[in-house]
Amino acid sequence: MQCWQAPLVGVFGQGPAPCRRLCRRPGLQAFAKLKYKTNIAQNHTKKSNFVSIDYDRLYSQPSYKPGRQYGPLKLVQLPGRGRGLVTDRSVQAGETLLLCEPVGGRVLDGPAGREPQPEELAAALEEWQREGKLGPADRARLRLLYEGPPADPSSPAPTAACPSLDDFRKLEDKLRRQGARDGGPKKARGKGFGAGPAGGAAGGAETGIDLASLSAPPLSPSELRRLAKYDSWGNAWGELGAAGLRGEELEAVMGIWPEFSLLNHSCAPNTVAFTVGSCMLVQAVRKLPPGAEVTTSYLADLALAPLQQRRQWLQGAYGFTCACERCQAESSLPPAVTAAVSAAYSAATAPAAVQLAAEARATSDRGALCELEGQLAGAVEALETAMEEAGLEGEVRQWLRCSAYPAYRSLAAIRDLPPPPPQQQQQHQPSDSGSSERRKARLPLDMARAAGAAPGAAAGEVGGVFSGLAGWAEAEVAAGGPQEAVGAAGLDAAFGGSSGDGSSSSSGVMFGGGSSTSAVQRPDQMPYSDPEVPADLAGIVEAVVAASDMHFYLVYEAMSRATELYGRDDPRVTEATKHVIRVLLTRYGRPSDKLLFQLLRSRMCVGHYLGDVTQLPPPPSSSAESTPGDGGLGQGHGALSAVPRDAGSALAAPLLGSGAAAAASPAQLRGAAEWAAAQVAAVEELAAGMRADREEEEGAGEEEAE
């Protein structure tokens, strides 16, 4: 399986992939009142009929081991897809569906940014088995997993029977009991405890599983290879928020989490999965009715690619033709729409476009990209028109935009670069469009505003956060150098540290006046950047990679830009802030507010640009360190600094992504975080209310189930 994380993740095994909503919106007054009703410290332990997790400890203490936890799920046979997990009551967005442990209690780790390969995992599994680190229950669990199509296609697929999800949780006990009944000592007997007489009658009768045959013999190298190919999951980065809080380095991980391996694929999945230490959490990203199949995406970057590319890859890697809702919708489109999706995708990912962008990004030369910009704008416009003419709406439109996402994203990235000098603009005018019209071709939704309508910008220009901060960074240098001015200590202060008002004393630049009602003041020379650009991109990716790192960084950037542009008390900033909180609560479940903010801070240490993740360099001086274990920025920086700064996402690579981020100086990246820091007070207030609201909804869901 492949999973998405930021920048993009690995996988259920297949090597690098070519790789909603919590709602009910009370007014602000209600949020403020609710804050007192929901003192978080009391609420961070989720105890329901299903899971009992202390989220605060999970995200901050490596010693905390909550064990296997299953939400309201059952394992069933599904037509054409083998087994799968379905809900047995309604589920809210942000509910934990699974908390799994990897087989052998261990994962294969590696340098962050480099995805381990399934063959490496297979070799590691062999070694663990040789060294006795895969116990009988581990082997039994592995034997319950899908092992790929049969060598002889006429024989049925060798999917082991598994009558209940609980068999995964209780295997240790069952094996131990069976061992006892068979008269052997409770500890390892012969081939391992649990290895009863052939047929394992007692265990078999009780569980439906032939325990002896499942657990006794070691798995062969070819079995381990198949399991690593079909059932593993990997992530090139680890958890960008929790790693710092837990005092862990960011590392690539790969392993097999048996219960998670029971999830089937969808190109528009309803969960997000990520690892914290070696545990894997699976969170619902939208409301699910009882009986809904719980799905994950096996695609990484290709989640944002057209139907044909997705199907081809899934067929090659896993041997099935995806027929999820998104695929079905995309396979029955009018030909004009299919052609427009494919043209937009190709315009952004064609080798010539990629090369051009690579050359231009070295110099932030937007002039060299005028023609490409025209092509992308034309392609996006054509797709929007085709969808309009075909009468497509809502979810389907968003899915199609996802399928052509590289075009939307690249266009936004180009328009965030400083505009070329007028002379160059003329030189590079797209020949076919003639046109400012074409150059200004509107992005859908409100992205159009980015193309020149935002107040204060010269027509046709969009100043990005990073390009926009350039002037400010220059001022910083003049005032004593960016390092001094925007070190992590400065950020700590911005988060309510010494100054408490978000101002950066060393730079002399005000980021949010002394009172909570004052608007953010910006240096004169700083252009604004349009918050709608990342907000609209977030709206697109939410349809297929909700609560992923990419989604988070887009909503976060929208909040950051809105704060910069409107001042923190503006209602638009409130909305953007709520969006950030929703994404965090969906991803992280139910940590206390304090922990939630620490996770937010920790994430803010990571450089990002339009959803592409890059890395900030380490803090420049010792003054930037924060107290170990406090989850502060110093620690986060320390952990993150191990990762090469240029290690952007695979998706970014095609066009501008990591290049644009790399073009931003450390001061600019930190500066962007600092703007957002002005939001923390507002975040705190809003989060409490939203959490209360959600708890009410969850409570109602559980009552309904009972």
Ligand X SMILES: C[S@@+](CC[C@H](N)C(=O)[O-])C[C@H]1O[C@@H](n2cnc3c(N)ncnc32)[C@H](O)[C@@H]1O
Q: How far is CA 110 from the centre of its chain?
A: 19
Should residue 307 be labelled a site residue for ligand X when binding is judged by CB under 6 A?
A: no
Helix (H, G, I), strand (E, B) or coil at 110: strand
Give Dmax (Cα) for the chain. Answer: 89
Which of 4, 50, 70, 146 touches ligand X (CB under 6 A)? Answer: 146
Question: Does residue 296 interact with ligand X by CB under 6 A?
Answer: no
Question: Is the CB of residue 584 less than 8 Å from the CB of residue 552?
Answer: yes
* Residues 127/128/132/138 CA torsion (nearest 10 deg): -140
Residue nearest to ligand X as judged by C-beta position: 82
**What is the C-alpha separation between 289 and 623, in angstroms, rounded?**
51
Which one, 64 or 320, has the nearer CB to ligand X?
320
The full DSSP string for 503-520 is -BTTTTB-SS-SSTTSPP
312 binds ligand X (CB under 6 A): no
Query: Which residues, in sequence order, are bridge partners of residue 283?
Result: 96, 272
Range 38-67, binding ligand X (CB under 6 A) = none
The 245-264 site mask, x for binding ligand X (CB under 6 A), equals: ----------------xx-x
Beta carbon nearer to ligand X, 331 or 499? 331
Q: How many CB atoms lie within 10 A of CB 185?
A: 10
d(CA 640, CA 250) in angstroms, rounded, equals: 6
Shortest approach of ligand X to residue 84 CB, angstroms?
A: 6
Closest separation in Å from C-beta 77 to ligand X: 8
Yes or no: say if 562 and 536 are a contact pair by the CB < 8 Å rule: no
Nearer to ligand X by C-beta: 79 or 391?
Answer: 79
Query: Which tokens go with 204?
Result: 């078999």
Judged by CB, which is closer to ligand X: 76, or 362?
Answer: 76
Q: How far is the CB of 327 from ligand X (least distance, A)?
A: 9
Query: Is residue 12 a contact point for ligand X (CB under 6 A)?
Result: yes
Residue 521: burial class (beta carbons within 10 Å; 0-12, 13-18, 19+): middle
Segment near ligand X (CB under 6 A); pick from 190-198, 314-322, 406-414, 549-557: 314-322
| Range in contact with ligand X (rule: CB under 6 A) among 29-37, 74-82, 335-343, 371-379 | 74-82
- Asked whether position 653 contacts ligand X by CB under 6 A, the answer is no
CA of residue 112 relative to chain centroid, distance = 15
Please pick, from the candidates 10, 15, 71, 84, the single residue that binds ligand X as defined by CB under 6 A: 84
From candidates 79, 80, 156, 351, binder to ligand X by CB under 6 A: 80
CA dihedral 311, 317, 321, 326 (to 10 degrees): -50
* Residue 319 near residue 148 (C-beta atoms within 8 A): yes
In the complex, minimum distance from the CB of residue 161 to ligand X, in angstroms, rounded to a whole number:
10
- Find the part of the chain contacting ligand X (CB under 6 A) among 316-324, 333-341, 354-362, 456-464: 316-324
In the complex with ligand X, the residue whose CB is nearer, 305 or 486, is 305
- Dihedral (CA of 146, 149, 152, 154) sign: positive
| Interface residue with ligand X, options 20, 81, 133, 572 (CB under 6 A) | 81
Does 265 help bind ligand X (rule: CB under 6 A)? yes
Shortest Å, Cβ 81 to ligand X: 4
Helices 394-403 and 370-389: angle between axes, nearest 10 degrees: 150
Pick the piece of the chain touching ligand X (CB under 6 A) from 81-89, 341-349, 507-515, 690-698. Answer: 81-89
Helix (H) or strand (E) holding 97, with range, is strand 96-100
Task: Return d(Cα 166, Cα 208) in angstroms, integer.
Answer: 12
CB nearer to ligand X: give 53 or 327: 327
Task: State the residues that interact with ligand X by CB under 6 A.
Answer: 1, 12, 80-84, 145-146, 159, 230-231, 261-262, 264-265, 318-320, 322, 324
